[in-house]
Amino acid sequence: MTLQDGLRGFEVIVGGGLGRTPMIGKTLSPFVPLEDILPYLEAVVSTYNLLGRRDNKYKARIKITTHEHGIDDIKQRIEAQFSKINPLFTGEDMHILKEIERHFEPPNFKPANPPVEALSTTSHTPAFRAWLDTNITPHKVPGYAIVSVSLKKPGATPGDASAAQMRALADIARDFGHDELRISHEQNVILPHVHRADLPQVYHALRQADLATANIGLISDIIACPGMDYCALATARSIPVAQQIATRFHALKLEHDIGPLKLKISGCINACGHHHIGHIGILGLEKAGVESYQITLGGDAGADAEIGTRAGPGFGADEIVPAIERLLLGYLQLRIDRSESFLAAYRRLGLAPFKALLYPQARKAA
């Protein structure tokens, strides 16, 4: 949501999506006032309903329709449809929205005073300081923090939690988090409202539940789809690959040196692991009865969203972890200094030097 001339509104983007045909969405309107958003979106959907492909289930997607007609034609049709249906909306949707908003009012925050003692002092353990560095995000309310609880302990199933751990999280939320938990698309749990004075107690409670892994945003914080272990659509395993990568780099003690990195794994072309927009993406496929893992580089889901570029031929199940290791050890040599992230280095240097790291035999042959 953005503000324009004092009005709340939204940028509307259409035509993005992953799967077998990944595409970056295109801006349909830079600003639609909040009061108009529901009829505007109805105009989008109804326009797609008239134009969308029904002859081919693989092309029955709004991204395909946008691509085939072009954003200018789609926008013209949507604006025409919007002008027809907008007068039919009398404001009842805004009354319903206000009723919904009532259930999402902020909690009664504790006062920030007296000032909270600095939490990164040497009086705390290195493990706690590492957790503060990776798992804590600033809050808009002074004296508060956002706590990300990692479900990515190296060697464990990414995103998995036991019943006992979920009960522990419920207790922590009740005692220290205004009784609120959220689940992120990164397959982690968020405590959105924690007073900074309570962070040591929260950390202790998380450690007791084996949930204090300090790796949010690092290489072991991997998004992985269920893969062939649990999904009937998958053609390759995802979970074991994620476990092996996380375990390997935990053993090398290089996670914090490598720094921020989004590694995402999908076990089939449907891309549920979002591998197309990972800084490093891994796509598992079955070829002649054998699992093969393709690597894409340079994807990003941020403000400068970008689809990753396929690096080259796939790797066998026994080759994928060594390939990722070569890639990241090489990155440490290629970067300007510790402040240059993997993605920044890739954007500066391009594919070639990273491809050479992945395929050293091809380089020797050349």
Sheet holding 182-183, edge to edge: 136-138, 144-149, 189-195, 182-183
Residue type, 206: L
Query: Bridge partners of 14?
Result: 26
Burial label for 186, CB within 10 Å (0-12, 13-18, 19+), is buried
What is the spatial distance between Cα 203 and Cα 145, in angstroms, rounded to a whole number?
Answer: 13
CA-CA-CA-CA dihedral for 200, 202, 204, 207, to nearest 10:
-140
Distance of CA 328 to the CA centre of its chain: 20
Averages of pLDDT over each 10 residues, the chain, 366 residues:
85 95 96 95 96 91 95 97 94 92 92 58 80 96 96 95 98 97 96 96 97 97 96 96 97 96 97 97 93 97 94 96 98 97 98 97 62
What 3-state DSSP class applies to 187? coil
**Domains of the chain, start order:** 2-104 (3.30.413.10), 126-208 (3.30.70.3340), 223-365 (3.30.413.10)
For the entire predicted model, the pTM comes to: 0.92
Q: What is the DSSP string of 295-359?
A: EEES-B-STT-BPPEE-SS-EETTTHHHHHHHHHHHHHHHSSSTTS-HHHHHHHH-HHHHHHHH-
Omega of the bond prior to 114 within 30 degrees of 0, cis? Answer: yes
What is the spatial distance between Cα 316 and Cα 180, in angstroms, rounded to a whole number?
Answer: 43
Name residues whose C-beta falls within 8 Å of residue 36's C-beta, 6 or more positions apart in sequence: 9, 82, 86
What is the spatial distance between Cα 287 and Cα 311, in angstroms, rounded to a whole number?
Answer: 18
What is the spatial distance between Cα 295 and Cα 281, in angstroms, rounded to a whole number?
Answer: 6
Report pLDDT for 333: 97
Report pLDDT for 123: 59
